[in-house]
Amino acid sequence: MTKSTLTARRIAYLALLSAACVVGRLSFTFLPNVQPMTAILLLLTLLLSLPEALLVMSISLVVTNLFVGLGIWTVGQFLSYLGIMLLFWLLARLPFFKTRLWLQALLAAAMGFLYGFLYSIFNYFLYGMSIFWPYWLQGLPFDALHAGGNLVFYLLLFPVFQKLFKQFLKKT
């Protein structure tokens, strides 16, 4: 965590961010794979901390999947989010990455494709498929929708979340 303790204020803040992810994901269920949740989680990873982002991701996944369907695939979603958030966190440690919004937004878009690839790997093993590449390729249009949504939501939410996090971190 950015601070070593989880204060009541910090827990409430993370709960509100989880609620934003849940509402965002459920509000866009009419568009396949388009949702602000991934962009919010990447912004949390960049602007707050990886452990806090992982906590918000875990809460958000469980709560939203209670509404849209909870099953073994939730593990695949968790692992896929973990993969993209770890990579984003590693890249965020590079000085030039943190100062270039366009690079962050392009990477957020790329994370839509990486998420789909990682999730396809999970499903490949889960369902005992014999051939991976055709399965993954047929999901590329949905990955492209996820990538496009990530790009748009990242660019829209970055200034808002940057200001919110700056104010929050000042008060903690």
What would the mean pLDDT of 79-108 be, rounded to a whole number?
95
Cβ atoms within 10 Å of 86's Cβ, excluding its own? 13
Q: What pLDDT is recorded for position 4? A: 54
Residue 97: what residue type?
A: F
Band of the pLDDT at 168, cuts 50, 70, 90? confident
Q: Where are the alpha helices (DSSP H) in 71-130?
A: 73-92, 95-98, 101-126
Residue 104: what residue type?
A: Q
Residue with tokens 């971190």: 169
Q: Is the pLDDT of residue 155 over 90?
A: yes
pLDDT digits (tens, 9 = 90+) for 95-136: 999 889 999 999 999 999 999 999 999 999 999 999 999 999
What would the mean pLDDT of 27-51 be, rounded to a whole number?
96
The full length of the chain comes to 172
What would the mean pLDDT of 160-171 be, rounded to a whole number?
87
Q: What pLDDT is recorded for position 98? A: 86
Q: Which of 1-5, 67-71, 113-117 has the lowest mean pLDDT?
A: 1-5
Q: What is the pTM of this model?
A: 0.93
Report the distance separating Cα 30 and Cα 8, nearest Å: 35
- Domains defined for the chain, CATH in brackets: 8-171 (1.10.1760.20)
